[in-house]
Chains A and B, each alone.
Chain A
Amino acid sequence: MPTITYREAIRQALRIELKENPELILLGEDIGAYGGSYSVTKGFLEEFGAERVVDTPIVESSLIGLSIGAAMAGMRPVVELMTINFALKAIDQIINNAAKIRFMFGGQFSAPLVIRAVSGWGQLGPTHSQSFENYFAYAPGLMVVMPSSPNDAKGLLLTAMRGKDPVLFIEHALLYSTQGDVPEGKEGIPLGLSDIKRRGKDVSIVAYSRMVLLALQAAQQLSKDGIEVEVVDLRCLRPMDLGLAVSSLKKTGRALVLSEDWPSCSIASEVAARLQNEAFDYLDAPIGLLVSKDVPVAYARNLEAATLPNVSDIVGAVRALLS
């Protein structure tokens, strides 16, 4: 199986569907001539032409609205929002239109668009370093996907582009250059299923997106001390499949939930609450939460590093759960 980057995996998925589905178009700010802010669509304009790879003005809200309209007409728009921070400009269109249209009109039609947005940080300052998956996963009618590996990125994006409902597909800026094995085919991975990324018997870590990678690194370190961590990757936040996490927790009796979002009203707090409901009798310790500090992400390198959870924080949190 070829080893490719997360970026390349997403490129493969997009190219497959651009070739397979003549109704599919890519739209976004600077995805064409500029090559995409994170170079995901580099070369696509030359390869597929301006009719399929559409550069738009800076109009996030209308861009989502326009894409919803095109999707209602049977097209398959795949929109790139440079960063999830700019999705706030479009949250009205995403929640009030995209997520509602199939339900509100009695299932007569839907708005099957895919919105690709980038989460992440790296000295980008308070307005450009935020996680908003919780805002979007809150609303019924919108699927929210956050892949951690190249394999999942490709398979889940392929499925997202073939479904009948709108999908918010959140990529992570710090994952683009990470590598993994990815099959060459055109097969998708079903949305709404979690995945075990590492087996272990002592503690369950439940995570998604970049935090899965950090969990795996922490697990490796802990393994040297004989602590075997099981890592469950949620992959999708809506619908959220906690089946594997619950059975893992029933086995280990201890769980740590990880995310890069803020503590209050977060995906992590949601996951912890649900796990507790489902596996209360099996818990040997309160469910641990490790998320960002409850403060905007500063530009200064040291403050930023202190705000976001890192591998040694995870190692410490796992040890705390065991003691």
Chain B
Amino acid sequence: MDKEHAQALYHEMLLIRQFEDKAAEMYALGKIGGFLHLYSGEEAVAVGALNALRPDDDLFTSYRDHGYALARGCDPKAVMAELFGRETGLCKGRGGSMHLADASRHFWGGYAIVTGHLPLAAGMAYAHQHRKTEHLVLCVFGDGASNAGEFHETMNVAKVWSLPVLFLCENNLYAMGTSTREASAQSEMYKKGCSYGIESWQVDGMDVEAVEASIEKAAAFIRSGKGPVFVEALTYRFRGHSMADPELYRNKAEVEEWKKRDPIPRFLEGCLANKLLSREDADRISSEVERQVSEAVSFADASPEPSLNSLFDFVSA
């Protein structure tokens, strides 16, 4: 870890946190509608994972996708504008929060039908294998998704065909209000990968360095042609499942316990201790993030809605 890299990781995580806080505020003001799933608490996973990969490795994820978009380098302005449903949004206001994508960054989308994207990721990996390129596909999903049929079908095919796909399961202990304890016969998700003979392991998802190292190792394995890897990141969402969640299913004490492991101060403290970051660096990054987020909001707010003449764009039949 060098200073520059430490700054980048800290910056990206903080950007996601503040972006999400701002999105929640904008939701309360009615600027954002529908379902809004925030990534607060899980930042280390996206940031660690994407920093371990090449910018042209492919990315598929679920509806909880703001963190991935930002960690992939998408412009916060365009992300916020998408949440506002504006023409300048990443997907021109068509997709909204749950369906972000940026093809120029090999970010192939957030998908809102649970497990719907797993076969797509494996399919893209198949194309890479077929064309003998070195790309790999990162496929992110939750603990809840790992109980569904398409998850198992995709694991099986990925192993049988030895596909260059990296399954990253974010185990945040809940699928909406259903805990993994109640919904999954196997409480350790990586063991589901093991059961298909896939190289699988766990990582502390609240530790950005650990995630980065773990994904680097996984990527090296995949690029050496040995087939898929399954990484389970143990993490926690600090906010409700979506903005509509009254959180009846978990107690405050549990949330507070996890907040003690908040990946952002944890990383910062480590960096301060190791002299990778100074207080001044942290303050500078913090005000830079504040500026980015407030610019994103002003940009989104000032952006036009999609023109009604464009209603039928992007469908040919």
Residue positions of A touching B, CB distance < 8 A: 29-30, 33-35, 37, 55-62, 85-86, 89, 122-128, 293-296, 298-303, 306-307
Contact = CB atoms under 8 A, between A and B. Distances in A.
Contacts of B149: 59, 61-62
Given A125-B96, A127-B99, 6 more contacts: A57-B175, A123-B33, A123-B85, A125-B95, A298-B93, A300-B93
Contact of A34 (B34, B145, B177, B315): B177
Q: Which of A58, A62, A298 has the most CB of B within 10 A?
A: A58
Interface residues of B, number: 43
B85 A55 contact: no
B33 A301 contact: yes
Interface in B91-140: 93-99, 111-115
Interface of B: 33-35, 82, 85-87, 93-99, 111-115, 144-145, 147-149, 175-178, 182-184, 244-246, 248-249, 305-306, 308, 310-312, 315
A60 B113 CA distance: 11
B150 to A, nearest CB: 8
Contacts of A125: 34-35, 94-99, 112
10 contacts: A34-B177, A56-B183, A124-B34, A127-B112, A293-B312, A295-B312, A299-B95, A300-B96, A300-B305, A303-B310
Nearest to A122: B34
Contacts of A127: 98-99, 111-113
Nearest to B182: A55
B176 A293 contact: no
Interface of B is mostly: loop
Contacts of B94: 125-126, 296, 298-300, 303
Contacts of B98: 124-125, 127-128
Contact of A57 (B113, B178, B310, B312): B178
A62 B149 CA distance: 8
A187 to B, nearest CB: 33
User: Across chains A and B, which 3 residue pairs bring their CB atoms closest together, nearest first?
Assistant: A34-B177, A299-B96, A123-B33
Q: Which of B246, B311, B315 has the most CB of A within 10 A?
A: B311
Contacts of B244: 37
B145 A58 contact: yes
A30 B177 contact: yes
B314 to A, nearest CB: 9
A273 to B, nearest CB: 22
Given A34-B248, A127-B112, A58 B175 contact: yes
A279 B31 CA distance: 48
A294 to B, nearest CB: 8
Contacts of A57: 144, 147-148, 175, 178, 183-184
B29 to A, nearest CB: 14
A89 B105 CA distance: 30
